[in-house]
Amino acid sequence: MRRVLLATACAVATAASLAAPVTAQAQPAQADKATEYVVLYKDGASLGAARAALKAVGATIVRENTDVGVATVRTRTRDFGAAVAAQAALDGAASQQIIGKAPKNAHARSRDTDEKLAGTQGRFDFGRPKGEEPLAGLQWDMKQIGATAKGSHRTEPGDRRVIVGVIDTGVDGDHPDIKPNFNRALSRNFTVDVPTDANGNEVDGPCEDEPDGSCNDPADVDENEHGTHVASTIASPRNGLGIAGVAPNVQIVNLRAGQDSGYFFLQPTVDALTFAGKNGIDVVNMSYYIDPWAWNCTNNAADSPADRREQATVIKAAQRALDFAYRNGVTLVSAAGNQRVDYTKPLTDTGSPNFASEPGEEPRERTIHPSCQSMPSEGNHVIPVSSTGISERKAYYSSYGNGYVKVAAPGGDKVDNPDGKADDRLGIWAAYPESIARERGELNADGTPNTPRVVRDCKGGTCAYYQSIQGTSMAAPHAAGVAALIVSKYGKKDRRGGLTMSPAAVERRLLGTATPKACPSPRTQEYVWYTRAADGSWVRNSSTQTCEGTKGRNGFYGAGIISALNAVRR
């Protein structure tokens, strides 16, 4: 761990030259349309100048991150982005959310690819290898990377002084197979659930319907499932219950930036990364992209000038936060994406913007040039991770790209079998909040699961639940866990009594010890999978994807499939 005090991004001494001009007159918006924006301060502007500029455009600061020069503001000003663009002390604005109230019955959306796959849904043989945790028979993923009792866990199970931040939807800190490694004191919630979008569509649902009656959740809960699964893969302990993670002795910190619905906005991401840099976090896992744009483009003809400004702000602000964390010793790991597209080639995006921050705003089709950026995975200093299945093939859903993907890791591929039919055995099994399983009706009255994608293990009267999911979100935490092992093995003591290792050195070891994996032959592969139609019939789906590059570095696997065992061998 390492904590370094640095000057803020909004350096003093330039207030005179960056005073707010009066050339653009801010126009008040409709009285009932108070909107939140994230505003980026101009690099080099003083805090006084930036705050004066915000006041000039009719904005009130809700919260401010002075380390990277970003503020969330509330305003009723029309054309707020244009007003901000006219201020010399400000560098852009991005919509955050509309203040509103929602109808009933919120439900979480998934970032990953547990679509309605059709297949056998067969149960796994829970054979327990000697010396392993009770459900280790499920964990083909850990065998693939050597993170087993006879593998990396024997050589280096992780050091308690190493801390991994899970920037996600939250972590169930009371899950029995997470609690022993959960650092409650350092955990934080940086986001507030949003009842509805600007079109009145439900997002997270009414605050009064939350389990705690509030849209401000505690920092030890996960009302989505995603973050808990990620945390478990990284660091479920070896405690005789359920499973073990890649690094079963390191600590997990919940840095919640994602809402119950699965949306991740800019300000919470910036705040989580800044917190990680200031508080000795060694590795962060980022299994998401920043909403509302899957790719942020600064010169896309399909976007309005306002949209281009907003996307430029997302890129700049996120990069500042990534830079801050990286400078302060944080290794940055991210999921590569589940769109099954090559990020280095032109592609079509039909899902952005995926959140209506202005009334009438809807997703539209856009042609995406490789110069556009999905954040945080395409940010500088980030390690994007593609996903593999049990056969080591690149997962059918996993995005890819030669020069984009740096490394591959098991993320599950439920159709990685000859007939393309789904099998839950082929997903990634990790911790599942019991409260969500009960809410979804996945448990019988006696607590036993009634679906093959959920299993239970009990020890001494304590029971824990686990579920099978697939996605690059599941691949990234395997890499984050290996990064934590590398810091545990090779890190040096810092002033706080922890361990520290430069992110560049961690990345070199992570990539340098990966098992090289050549492109498949032929390089162009047709992936086939089946989904259920409304009438219950099977529908055939396919995707053609091409791998480019050499065995040592290619678009499907990057430098290769990570190896926990190789990473901690001298």
Residue ranges per structural domain of the chain: 27-98, 136-490+506-567
Output the six-digit token pair for 178: 């997470």
Name the residue with higher pLDDT: 497 or 81. Answer: 81
At residue 355, the pLDDT reads: 78
At residue 105, the pLDDT reads: 32
* pLDDT one-digit tens code per residue, 280-298: 999 999 999 999 999 999 9
Confidence of residue 218 (pLDDT cuts 50, 70, 90): confident
* pLDDT one-digit tens code per residue, 311-324: 999 999 999 999 99
262 class by beta-carbon count within 10 Å (0-12 exposed, 13-18 middle, 19+ buried) = buried
Picking from 150-154, 339-343, 418-422, 430-434, which range would have the lowest pLDDT averaged per residue?
Answer: 418-422
Confidence of residue 147 (pLDDT cuts 50, 70, 90): very high
Residue 270 in this model has a pLDDT that exceeds 80: yes
CA distance 200 to 204: 12
CA distance 359 to 361: 6
Q: Are strands 428-432 and 462-469 parallel, antiparallel or unpaired?
A: antiparallel
Q: Fold for 27-98, please state it.
A: Alpha-Beta Plaits (3.30.70)
At residue 506, the pLDDT reads: 98
Q: Are strands 283-286 and 188-189 parallel, antiparallel or unpaired?
A: unpaired
Confidence of residue 339 (pLDDT cuts 50, 70, 90): very high
Helices 226-235 and 472-490: angle between axes, nearest 10 degrees: 40
At residue 378, the pLDDT reads: 98
User: Among candidates 242, 158, 146, which has minimal Cα distance to 463?
Assistant: 242
CA distance 471 to 334: 12
CA-based torsion, 332, 337, 343, 347: positive or negative: negative
CATH class (in words) of the domain with range 136-490+506-567: alpha beta
Residue 204 in this model has a pLDDT that exceeds 70: no
Residue 149 in this model has a pLDDT that exceeds 90: yes
Q: What is the mean pLDDT of the chain?
A: 88
Output the six-digit token pair for 519: 């492109």
Residues in the chain: 570
Question: Region 12-35: what's the mean pLDDT?
Answer: 40
Residue 128 has a CB neighbour count (10 Å cut-off) of: 12
Name the residue with higher pLDDT: 25 or 545. Answer: 545
Spatial CB neighbours of 95, under 8 Å, sequence gap ≥ 6: 35, 36, 37, 292, 310, 357, 358
Confidence of residue 202 (pLDDT cuts 50, 70, 90): low
* pLDDT one-digit tens code per residue, 224-260: 999 999 999 999 999 999 999 999 999 999 999 998 8
User: Among candidates 435, 457, 462, 478, which has minimal Cα distance to 232?
Assistant: 478
* pLDDT one-digit tens code per residue, 440-486: 999 999 999 999 999 999 999 999 999 999 999 999 999 999 999 99
Beta strands in 294-400 (DSSP E): 331-335, 347-352, 364-368, 382-388
Residue 497 in this model has a pLDDT that exceeds 90: no
In this chain, the answer to whether the domains covering 27-98 and 136-490+506-567 adopt an identical fold is no
Strand order across the 428-432 sheet: 428-432, 462-469, 454-459
At residue 35, the pLDDT reads: 85
Helices 503-512 and 472-490: angle between axes, nearest 10 degrees: 110
Total-model pTM? 0.90
Residue 126 in this model has a pLDDT that exceeds 60: no
At residue 261, the pLDDT reads: 82
At residue 42, the pLDDT reads: 96
CA distance 20 to 492: 46
User: Among candidates 67, 57, 17, 10, which has minimal Cα distance to 37?
Assistant: 57
